[in-house]
Amino acid sequence: MTPRWMSESPRPFSKVLVANRGEIAVRVLQAAREAGLIGVAVYSENDSSSLHVELADESVLLEGDDLDSTYLNAEAIIEAARRCGADALHPGYGFLSERADFARQVEDAGILWIGPPADAIETMGDKISARSLMIQSGVPVIPGEQIPVEEGADHLGPLASAAAKVGYPLLIKASAGGGGKGMRSVSEPKNLRTEFEAAAREASAAFGDGTVYIEKLLSRARHVEIQVLCDSLGGAIHLNERDCSLQRRYQKVIEEAPSPALNSAVREAMGEAAVTAARSVNYVGAGTVEFLLSSNGQFYFLEMNTRIQVEHPVTEMTSGVDLVQKQFEVASGLPVGILQSEVTQNGHSIEARIYAEDPGSGFLPSTGRLVMWRPPSGPGTRVDSGVREGDEVTIDYDPMLAKLIVHAPSRNAAIRRLYTALSDFVVLGVRTNIEFLRNALSHDSFLSGGVDTDFLDSTDSSELSGDEPDGPFLTAIAASAQRLGLDSEPSSAAESVDDHTGHVGDPFRTLRRTFP
């Protein structure tokens, strides 16, 4: 049965399969439940007890022990949708979300694709064709060389001459890329070859396509992106910007809205450029047009992400629009239902990505069991997460554990709220970047709103590592906790009535005696 809000929809649906895992699968499945839809999860063997499976109304196992046979297996996922009678599919982000051929296969199977048309994904997904289209449409692009350097071909000659034309420092980018994978900066010619090979290799591994191109590296630039929302009736609006300048190795770390670097004239111009970009590919659904904002206020098209974005919550918090619900609505053929003039930007929102990684050893991913997981809560605090206490963090999947999002009346209030929420976020058993986030957030450059995309990579790590741990104090707590047996679950009532105090489950007595 289709939900009542869809009664006027040209393409109603009632059961949505979410072809993803982790926090975004949880987010979409939750939204589906709220929308009165039946939510179906897919999962791999090692995800069988994951949170997204628990939240789904139904779930289907994808057999196999690698990504290609599970979350990247288009045939198996479409077959799962068919088998359980799902009439719509939401791809989330990552995995198959930006594979045009997958979007086509889904539609060909008679399943509604909750995303943009396959042609739009294809044009924007190939960074080289996207650049050409933007130039045609009058959207400014970064100076660069669009001569594709094909993998396997004799690459060094064309590469070196393209590089010389663009000039150093430059950026090698995967044409099929995203999320910082397959992207390398080159500061001088002698590093060109190694960085090119690394970029092509990463691009091949991550996207199955090692084609790269070269762009001028703009220094001291900010990353500002515009959220767009388009319907199949020709309606297109933008929901203002997100500033994602705080990045490490091109991976976003902290995102906020509004951007501290935009004035209303630039905001409006950027918003219009984003809508132009979306219209140029007949976009439908929620999408993001990314720009680099140079220090002199010029902005350049970077790429368009044809899917829901990791950092979409900061726009939801400031605009009051539920983007996943809107994806459902426009996919069913309904209009966006919001006029550009009705779009508001209320207060300030910041998101911090909580990663299982160790800032103390080069941000390598960390693994282990989340022996304690206590997310913060309170007014203006939102946690989007795909894990819970007791879950195992492995290297099989992306190391992002959660997104911590805050909303407050002003930027300063939002920073203080986020700092407090990060301090209250108790994650034990796996190393995280929480302390690093606290330090980045309280760095003068971030407080003043002046960070550019090079900030984290160019700042001395000692400025972001915080105070030395108080070793004796911590050792005293750990040793005492061990003696008191504080790791144990409370013993069951029958065996633990304490003969001294008479209290049931008194941990003082029963546990002390187990220690030599």
Partner 1 sequence: MEWSVCGESGRYKVNLLESDGSVSATPISRDGDELDIGKISVRPDGKPGRAIVELGGATKLAHVARSGDSWWVHVDGRAHEIRFHEQGSKGPSYSDGSLTAPMPGTILELLVKQGQRVRQGQSLVVLEAMKMEHRISAPKAGEITKLHYDKGDRVEMGSVLIEIGD
Which residues of the chain form contacts with partner 1 (CB under 8 A)? 181, 198, 201-202, 205-206, 358, 360-362, 364-369, 371-372, 374, 395, 397-399, 422-424, 426-429, 431-432, 434-435, 438, 466, 468-469, 471-484, 486-490, 507-509, 512
Q: How far is the CB of 46 from partner 1 (least distance, A)?
A: 14
SS3 content of the chain, % helix, strand, coil (to 5): 35, 25, 40
* C-beta closer to partner 1: residue 110 or 466: 466
Q: Over the Cα atoms of the chain, what is R_g?
A: 24
Q: How far is the CB of 158 from partner 1 (least distance, A)?
A: 24
User: How far is it, in rounded angstroms, from Cα 10 to Cα 510?
Assistant: 66
Q: How far is the CB of 470 from partner 1 (least distance, A)?
A: 9
* C-beta closer to partner 1: residue 91 or 399: 399
Interacting residues of 14 by C-beta distance below 8 A, sequence separation 6+ = 1, 2, 3, 37, 38, 87
Q: How far is the CB of 383 from partner 1 (least distance, A)?
A: 16
Task: List alpha helices for 363-410, DSSP H.
Answer: none
Q: How far is the CB of 263 from partner 1 (least distance, A)?
A: 35
Q: Which residues of 420-447 are buried (b: 16+ CB within 10 A; e: fewer)?
A: ebbeebebebbbbbbbbbbbbbbbeebe
Q: Residue 295: left if φ>0, alpha if ψ -120 to 50, beta else—which one?
A: alpha
* C-beta closer to partner 1: residue 338 or 383: 383
For residue 169, give both structure tokens: 């420092």
* C-beta closer to partner 1: residue 164 or 486: 486
User: How far is it, in rounded angstroms, from Cα 92 to Cα 73?
Assistant: 15
Q: How far is the CB of 311 from partner 1 (least distance, A)?
A: 19
- The helix (H) or strand (E) run that includes residue 160 is helix 156-166
* C-beta closer to partner 1: residue 138 or 469: 469
Q: Residue 112: left if φ>0, alpha if ψ -120 to 50, beta else—which one?
A: beta
Place of tokens 């002698």: 190
* C-beta closer to partner 1: residue 34 or 487: 487
Q: How far is the CB of 343 from partner 1 (least distance, A)?
A: 36
Q: How far is CA 463 from the centre of its chain?
A: 26
Task: List alpha helices for 208-285, DSSP H.
Answer: 264-280
CA atoms within 13 A on the CB side of 513: 7
φ, ψ at 109 (rounded to 5°):
-80, 5
* C-beta closer to partner 1: residue 345 or 420: 420
Q: Which residues of 337-360 are buried (b: 16+ CB within 10 A; e: fewer)?
A: ebeeeebebebbbbbbbbbbbbbe
* C-beta closer to partner 1: residue 233 or 371: 371
Q: How far is the CB of 476 from partner 1 (least distance, A)?
A: 4
**Which positions are annotated as active-site residues?**
307
- Closest by CA position to 455, among listed 262, 185, 130, 222: 222
Q: Parallel, antiparallel, or unpaired for β 38-44 and 58-62?
A: parallel
